[in-house]
Chains A and B, each alone.
Chain A
Amino acid sequence: MTGLLHERGLSRKTFLKGGGALIVGFSLGGALAARRAGARPAAAAAGSPYPVIDLGQLDSWLAIHPDGTVTVFTGHVDIGTGSETGFIQVVADELGVPFESITIVMGHTDRTPLQGKSTASNAMASAVQPVQVAAANAYQALLGMASARLGVPVSGLTVADGVVSGGGKSVSYGDLIGGRRFNISIPVSSPPGSSDPLQTNNGSTGALAVTVPLKDPSQYRYRGKSIPRVDFPAKVAGTWTYVHNVKVPGMLHGRVVPPPNVGARLVSVDGFGGHRVPGLVKVVAKGDFLGVVAETEWAAIEAASTLKATWSGGGGLPAYRDVYAATVASRTVQDVVERSTGNAGAVLAGAARTLSATYNTPFNTHGLIGPSCAIADVAPNGNVTVFSGTQWPDGTRSDVAYLLGVPKDNVRVIWFEPSGAYGRLGTDDAAGDAALLSQAVGKPVRVQWMRGDEHGVAPYNSAAVIAIRAALDSSGRISAMSYENWTASHSASEVGNMLAARSVGRAREHPRLSGAASVPGYSIPNLQVVSHYKEEMLRGIYMRSVGGIQNTFARESFMDELAHAAGADPIDFRLNHMTDPRAIAVLQAAAKRFGWDYRTSPKPGNAGTVVSGRGISSSGRMTTIVEVSVNKKTGSVTATRAVAAFDVGRVVHPDALAAQIEGGTIMGISRALKEEVRFDTSGRVTTRDWVTYPILRFREIPEVETVIVDTPNPAAGAGEPPNETPAGAVGNAIYDATGVRIRTLPFTPSRVRAELKAAGVA
């Protein structure tokens, strides 16, 4: 493992200097990279100091060194989910080399091929494809070389651990190609999504044409196995380099003073009120952007917290209790008919039996344990280097270039792992802050957001209001459904909308709309699904499952309400409306593991103060069943057990998948029970720390049992679905326990108590 870490260190261009300090020597990066990678293509655009990596060249994706070790280059990044390990598994199988011989360089815009965003759980679903295809091309090329070298036809060759054998002779990959280029072109079958801020980005990670055979699953040595993750030894030893740990020579420390409330304008900067701030380098005010630069981190923190400034305006938010009414009433940006099948309106109008309900879900924050952090170096020659943990290096590159008003060709982003980000995507606010501050002082500046910044001004998952109406026919089946979702777009901050960009008037209109209604997967003959995209209230950005948690909570709560109306067991009722055999198998697997007692809700005989119940929620090929305990007197809800079943297709790494299911389930329960961003009428977010925005704690974590339904289908994404389903299951379990339906998240003790009281149950 030591060797691997050494390789990793080299590939990330780090070296030790004075007293063991980790210094990132980016001035040496190019030479070091070239030595590691052999003579990789290094064509820079005219006038650009940084190479453009040709997607259609095998050498852009991987290099084999004389000692047989392999470096893989990918624009995809690993935000803590283990995709780095997964990529290595895939390449090791495709290339026929030991897992341990491979290291990966991720997300360096001047060294790795563009692969769009690392988002939507796309690592194994699509981002690995070009890497796999490049490895398959390399494998075929190496077979050809070995055949010529050994004088044995390819059909007579075998490969083991990077050594080709045949006719009693053998030759290693290192001897065949080590340190040299393959010079093989591979057609690009689909380009990665654009990072041009003015273009809609479809999220594509890009793909290469498959013109050579890929390994058959029967030949996999590593795929499908739970190989220990490559990042863990360093992570538990304290030697892993997060973006927070990156230091560059001459680096100063910056902190921001964000607007106190949404939309506030900076009127004046009023000094430190007599407070001395030793080590202060500069106060930087530009438009509504305000920040400080200091020699030490603590001096920067003290300066930012004691700096006085006058702000005006802003606010304009509704009283928080009116957040949902205001969401529906606000200006419509666009209405989108997502699905119109049959004639839902007419059937509903003529139906003998209809049911309707409205569900509300609040703003949520990603809650990174390590706040946003970036280091920017705006050099005197106009070249810009940004160290960032962004989920979209090329998007952050575009954003910083536009923010600073420099050509994108002169900017590069070097990615280091951040704290888990759960969908913050390219909205790396700290990168924008660091860039502005570095530009102002002419030196590299590191900015790390404080907890109040992270909770108080980061972009959020937007609140939603979802109204559903359905008709039941005489057999208890859904004959028609109308489904409407009012929410601000979840992609509003995706491009060019870093807080710094807004503060200096360099934010841009972003045309992409996302996160509103999703089409129910149940078989419903007359179905109308409409998204109402509303004006932004708080800056929005995707959060794990985007609109999934809101829609799934509403739809799955309503399915239970319909089941109750139809006098059916919640699982039977769902099965009666499902056609996808894989989704059915998952639902049944969850029910079996849980030991589901088929009956109608609520649970009979729940008369005591503390009562229990169970609820189910299903979304596609993901099913979650949660058991809760409800204290009717206090309104306190505890999740006591969760079963999560998932068919993600062919599994690359069972244990990493199980970890995603466990973690997604726990976060989903946390969002169901606790999480809510609140604000006051001045437009100030009031949930600015872990006390005011609590998440699930150790003592509140239930047992999570995962059921992986492994099927030989293409791998789908695993990070989001487990997070979608828990809220609906918790709400249904509360109903099962108490007979009271609560349609607004989160299920805090005060809300549950009030609802139980209103229903006469408490």
Chain B
Amino acid sequence: MASKLKIKVNGLVHSVTASLDTPLLYVLHNELHLHGPRFGCGLAQCGACSVLLDGKEIRSCVTPVAAVSGKAITTLEGLPALWAKERGTAAAAPAALHPLQQAWIDVQVPQCGYCQNGMIIQAADLLSTTKNPTKEQIKVAMNGHLCRCGTQPRILRAIQQAAAVMAKGGR
């Protein structure tokens, strides 16, 4: 049975209508029209659907929408504003891209790009707790995310680049 719910996504509270057991992913994609998180498996096995829930990476394909009420969801689209907030920049003028997103472009990471949402979200989670991760720490953190195009070596480089940029407080 559909219910009216309020969820906080990328800093804004949205009213949505969905049954309580609907996975968050479908609400984000079909109600809020956010295209960062993507359906990959519906089984929490691949990570294409990842979002941040209070800053920690979760799989939106298996998280019921009812479970996120009162918590802050950040999607790929919300990373620039999140970064602006962390830096204390005025929200009115956020950086165009989060340093991770910029590093992804600088290193030319994607191929098809379908999995990269989860890769960037997981990397944001990692860098929020581990400012200067080693290669091995990055590999361990990213191990739950699948990429079929074989972009992992570039992802590794991009995370290292973004970590260096963020350590200096900006671009």
Contacts and interface: CB of A to CB of B under 8 A. Distances in A.
Contacts of A697: 143, 146
A448 B39 contact: yes
A238 B35 contact: yes
Given A232-B104, A297-B30, A298-B19, A659 B40 contact: no
B110 interface: yes
A483 B2 CA distance: 63
A695 B146 contact: yes
Contacts of B104: 232, 236
Contacts of A422: 148
Nearest to A668: B150
B149 interface: yes
Nearest to B105: A232
Nearest to A669: B150
A451 B42 contact: yes
A664 B150 CA distance: 7
A422 B117 CA distance: 20
B45 interface: yes
Contacts of A371: 39-40
A451 B40 contact: yes
A709 interface: no
B38 interface: yes
Nearest to A229: B108
B2 A278 contact: yes
Given A239-B77, A298-B18, A703 B153 contact: yes
A367 interface: yes
Nearest to A16: B33
Contact of A235 (B45, B110, B142, B154): B110
Interface stretch (A18-26, A141-149, A151-159, A326-334): A18-26
A238 B75 contact: yes
A82 B101 CA distance: 18
Interface string A671-700: 000000000000000000111000101110
B49 to A, nearest CB: 10
Interface string B77-120: 10000000000000000000100010011001111111111001
Nearest to A78: B112
A233 B98 CA distance: 12
B76 interface: yes
A363 interface: no
Contacts of B167: none
A662 interface: yes
Interface string B26-49: 100110011110111111011010
Interface string A298-328: 1001000000000000000000000000000
A81 interface: yes
Contacts of A704: 153
A394 B75 CA distance: 36
Nearest to A697: B143
Given A237-B97, A241-B35, A699 B46 contact: no
B40 A238 contact: no
Given A370-B39, A451-B42, A666 B150 contact: yes
Contacts of A699: 139-140, 143
Interface in A383-420: 417-420
Nearest to A656: B108
B56 interface: no
Contacts of A369: 40, 46, 48, 112, 114-115, 146-148
Given A370-B48, A420-B114, A19 B146 contact: no
A698 B143 contact: yes
Given A233-B105, A368-B148, A695-B148, A238 B139 contact: no
Given A238-B117, A420-B148, A695-B146, A663 B42 contact: no
Contact count band on B: 35 or more
Given A237-B101, A369-B40, A451-B41, A232 B113 contact: yes
Contacts of A662: 150-151, 153-154
Nearest to B115: A369
A247 B35 CA distance: 11
Contacts of A79: 112
A662 B101 CA distance: 21
A244 interface: yes
B22 interface: yes
Contacts of A656: 108
Nearest to A722: B150
B153 A235 contact: no
Contacts of A82: 111
Contact of B101 (A228, A236, A667, A690): A236
Contacts of A342: none
Contacts of A228: 105, 108
Contact count band on A: 35 or more
A377 B20 CA distance: 30
B145 interface: yes
Contacts of B41: 451, 689-690
A231 interface: yes
B138 to A, nearest CB: 8
A663 B149 contact: yes
Interface in A606-657: 655-656
Interface string A362-383: 0000111111000000000000
Contacts of A660: 111
Contacts of A244: 38-39
Interface string A67-83: 00000000000011110
A36 to B, nearest CB: 23
Interface string A194-226: 000000000000000000000000000000001
A575 interface: no
Contact of A690 (B38, B46, B150): B46
A665 B22 contact: no
Contact of A689 (B45, B140, B145): B45
Nearest to B97: A237
A420 B149 contact: yes
A369 to B, nearest CB: 5
Interface in B147-167: 147-155
Contact of A238 (B36, B109, B112, B115): B36
B146 A690 contact: yes
B1 A698 contact: no
Given A450-B42, A451-B43, A420 B111 contact: yes
Contacts of A689: 41, 43, 45
A701 interface: yes
B108 A237 contact: no
Given A236-B97, A241-B35, A80 B105 contact: no
Interface string B49-62: 00000000000000
Contacts of B152: 666, 698, 701
B81 to A, nearest CB: 12
A238 B76 contact: yes
A298 B22 contact: yes
A600 interface: no
B153 A701 contact: yes
Contacts of A241: 35
A80 B34 contact: no
Given A235-B110, A238-B75, A704-B153, 17 more contacts: A22-B33, A80-B111, A81-B111, A232-B113, A237-B36, A237-B97, A242-B35, A369-B48, A370-B48, A420-B148, A420-B149, A451-B45, A656-B108, A667-B150, A689-B41, A689-B43, A701-B139
27 contacts: A80-B110, A80-B113, A82-B111, A228-B105, A229-B110, A232-B104, A235-B110, A236-B104, A236-B116, A237-B76, A239-B77, A242-B114, A244-B38, A247-B33, A279-B2, A367-B148, A369-B115, A370-B38, A419-B114, A420-B148, A451-B45, A664-B150, A689-B41, A690-B41, A690-B45, A697-B143, A701-B150
Task: Report the 8 A-B pairs with minimum CB-CB distance, sorted nearest first.
Answer: A80-B112, A238-B36, A663-B150, A666-B150, A420-B112, A235-B113, A238-B76, A419-B114
Interface of B: 1-2, 18-19, 21-23, 26, 29-30, 33-36, 38-43, 45-46, 48, 75-77, 97, 101, 104-105, 108-117, 120, 138-140, 142-143, 145-155
